[in-house]
Structure 1
Amino acid sequence: MGRLVPAVTRALDVLELFLEPGGDGTLSAPDIVRRLQLPRTTVHELVATLTARSYLVAVEGRPGRYRLGVRPYQLGSRYAEQLDLAAEGQRVAGDVASTCDETVHVAILDGTDVIYIAKVDSTHAVRMVSAAGRRLPAHCTSVGKMLLAALPRPEIESRFPDGAQLTAMTPASITDPRRLREKLDEIRARGVAVEERESNPDVSCVAAPVRDRTARVVAALSISVPMIRWSDERRVELETLVAKGAADLSARLGGS
Structure 2
Amino acid sequence: MAPSKTAGSGELERSREEAPSSSSAPAVTRAAAVLDVLAASATGRATLSDLARDLGIPKSSTSNILQALEDAGLVAREGSEFSLGRKLVELGASYLSRRDEIREFYQFCGQAATLSKETVRIALLDGDHVIYLARYEGHPAVRLTSTIGDKMPASLCAVGKALVGRLHEHDWEVLYPDDAELPVLTPHSIRTGKEFKEELRRIKEQGYAFEDEESTLGVVCVAVPVPTRGAHGPNLGVSVTSLKATFTEEQKLAMVRELQGLARALGNPMGEWSKS
Bin of the TM-score, shorter chain as denominator length = 0.5 to 0.7
Q: Partner residue of 1:211?
A: 227
Question: Equivalent residue for 1:109?
Answer: 125
Instruction: Quote the residue 1:151 is aligned against.
Output: 167
Cα shift at 1:10: 2.5
Q: Which letter maps to 2:266?
A: L
Local SS of the residue matching 1:224: strand
Shift of 1:125: 6.2
**Match of 1:198?**
214
Counterpart amino acid of 1:206? V
User: How far 1:235 moved relative to its partner?
Assistant: 1.2
Q: Is the 8 A contact 2:115 2:240 kept in 1?
A: no
Counterpart residue number, 1:189: 205
Query: CA separation in 2, counterparts of 1:12 and 1:189?
Result: 47
Matching of residues 120-199 of structure 1 within 5 Å: 120-124=136-140, 127-199=143-215
Q: Is the 8 A contact 1:93 1:105 kept in 2?
A: no
**TM-score, reference length from structure 2:** 0.60
Counterpart amino acid of residue 218 in structure 1: N
Residue 12 of structure 1 and its aligned partner are, at CA, apart by 7.8
Q: TM-score, normalised by structure 1?
A: 0.64
Given that residues 143 and 222 in structure 1 are in contact (C-alpha distance below 8 angstroms), is that contact kept between their aligned partners in structure 2?
Answer: yes
SS of 2:190 mapped into structure 1: coil
CA distance in 1, matches of 2:215, 2:169: 24
Unaligned runs of 5+ in 2: 1-11, 28-94
2:123, 2:237 within 8 Å by CA — same for their partners in 1? yes
Q: Which residue does 1:40 correspond to in 2?
A: none
Is 1:233 the counterpart of 2:250? The answer is yes
CA RMSD of aligned residues (A): 3.2
CA contact (8 A) 1:214 1:255 kept: no
Residues of 1 paired with 2:141 and 2:156: CA distance?
25
| Residue type at the aligned position of 1:228 | A
3-state SS of paired residue (2:267): helix
Task: Count residues with an aligned counterpart.
Answer: 191
Amino acid at match of 1:247: R
Please show how residues 65-80 of structure 1 align to structure 2 within 5 Å.
Answer: none
- What runs of 5+ residues in structure 1 fail to find an aligned partner? 14-78
- Residues 107 and 125 of structure 1: CA distance in aligned 2, closer, same or farther (over 3 Å): closer
Q: Which residue of 2 is the match for residue 10 of structure 1? A: 24
Q: Percent identity?
A: 32
Looking at CA atoms only, which structure, 1 or 2, has the larger radius of gyration?
A: 1
